[in-house]
Chains A and B, each alone.
Chain A
Amino acid sequence: MSVALTKPWIPLEQSAVAALPGQLGVFEIADEHREVSYIGFAGSKSLFGLRSELSEWLDRGSYFRVEVTTAYRTRHLELLMDHHRRCGCYPEQNSESELAGLGRLS
């Protein structure tokens, strides 16, 4: 199983976000160079799942990609740890509280 999220990048625009499913899952936001700047998830508290969560990011990135999964919490942690393993740092827009107690992959 691939650890990294490998879905294609999609321009972060209203029409693309509106077409997203209302499902649970994880997502990545990237800048214009397709460098990941945030890794998030749509959990059970999201009113319309990925669609709701991504709509909060419309003016804070250039691209996004999503993965539908009910294991959104563990997948979210795994993506953050994998990003650190590959890049040596966490995405710049993830807050300290999201990273608290995070483990490490090597």
Chain B
Amino acid sequence: MIVQMVRRFVREEIVPLELSLDPDTDQLPPDESERLKDMVKDMGLYGLGIPPEYGGPELDMVTMTLIAMEMSQHRAGLYAPCYGVFGGAGLAQLFEANEAQKEAYLYPTLRGEKRGFFGLTEPSGGSDPARAIQTKAVRDGDDWVINGGKIFISGADRADYGLVFARTSADKGRGGVTCFIVDTNTPGFHVRRVVHTLRSAHYATELQFEDMRVPHGNVLGEVNKGFAIANDRLSRQRIPYSAGCIGVAIKANELAVEYAQVRETFGAPLASRQSIQWMLVDNEIDIQQARWATLEAANLSDLGEPFRKQAAMAKLIASEGASRVVDRCMQIHGGYGVTKDFPFERWYREMRIRRIGEGPSEVQRHIIARDILGSSLR
């Protein structure tokens, strides 16, 4: 029922609206955005992802995953599903914050009064953050002094605060990383530039910290235990990330099936050609594999069982499978497939990032191997 409501909303409200928008936009005109947010609130679905105790709807991970598969079924859907009119959960790590931090950052974020960013990746690497983090924080009285930089950070230029991970001990591994809540108006905090990528939505930025003083009270969790905060997000986030890929693949395939039946070549519809039929068959297989893998990970999460391996498999299967689906659909559409008149070129560009973001395919295989072999691979 909820999934059908979201499907209808995407098809009747979002897709028609996109016809008049710039094909690369990630924002709705303010009046349209407010109108659609009101509709979502009336549906009781605003703030998806916010735990019920903080005012969000009571939804399990399987339902959330099915909804995420619907929400991405439009041109901007991969990185701007429904243009954000369903609201966000903010930074989930703040649910673990102490009460003073929640008052200062979490509650204003849930009320839509503040925005945050997540600052983990550095120029020295993103797949192995425990070792790659070179940003340093040194204790000085009641403050920490942070120096270093981050890259590929979304939303930092518009944020009021961010979670910044920095090394706080000589320990080179996971044990020496701490998470700080940093106000973006702190002296020494700089957003140096936009990092232009294949992605049209939610551009990334490069940050620099120069003798940035952060109060000790802004340590999130415990000193030297920040990596667990980052790691928890990385595993859990892979499920909706996979669902977004699947939604785009479903929509792309739907368009390709329609087109193959009406487009004629040499006197017959494309759909009558075996080469095209096999592309559509392969699309269907890729989509089904990804759907079941992702729903299994979501189900394990709901049951409270370990799901790290399944989430890694879902992310691997969904991001690689959906990339193949979009590529085949583009091929079926021929020249039109690469124009900005159709959504495939945007999906094609943005889907390429999905095989790298939230841990590249190689890291997912590493995680799966580690689970199979029962030990940490070095």
Using a CB–CB distance below 8 Å, which chain A residues touch chain B? 1, 3, 43-45, 69, 71-75, 77-78, 81, 97, 100-106
Contacts and interface: CB of A to CB of B under 8 A. Distances in A.
A46 to B, nearest CB: 10
Nearest to A82: B193
Contact of A103 (B25, B27, B190, B191): B191
A105 B191 contact: yes
Contact of B157 (A3, A69, A103): A103
A85 to B, nearest CB: 9
Q: What range describes how many residues of B lie at the interface?
A: 20 to 34
Interface string B194-223: 101100100101000000000000000000
A102 B158 CA distance: 7
Contacts, number: 58
B23 interface: yes
A44 B24 contact: yes
Contacts of B190: 105-106
A43 B24 contact: yes
A72 B24 contact: yes
A100 B30 contact: yes
Interface in B144-197: 155-158, 189-194, 196-197
B24 A73 contact: yes
A44 B27 contact: no
Contacts of B155: 103
A2 to B, nearest CB: 9
A78 B157 CA distance: 10
A74 B203 contact: yes
A74 B206 CA distance: 14
Contacts of A74: 194, 196, 200, 203
Nearest to B22: A43
Those 3 A-B pairs whose CB atoms lie nearest each other, nearest first: A103-B157, A78-B194, A103-B158
Residue from B30, B156, B157, B197 having most chain A Cβ neighbours under 10 A: B157
Nearest to A106: B190
Contacts of A45: 22-23
A104 B190 CA distance: 9
Given A78-B193, A105-B193, A106-B191, A73 B25 contact: yes
Contacts of B158: 101-104
A100 B22 CA distance: 16
A105 B189 CA distance: 10
A72 B200 CA distance: 9
A74 B27 CA distance: 12
Contacts of A100: 30
B340 interface: yes
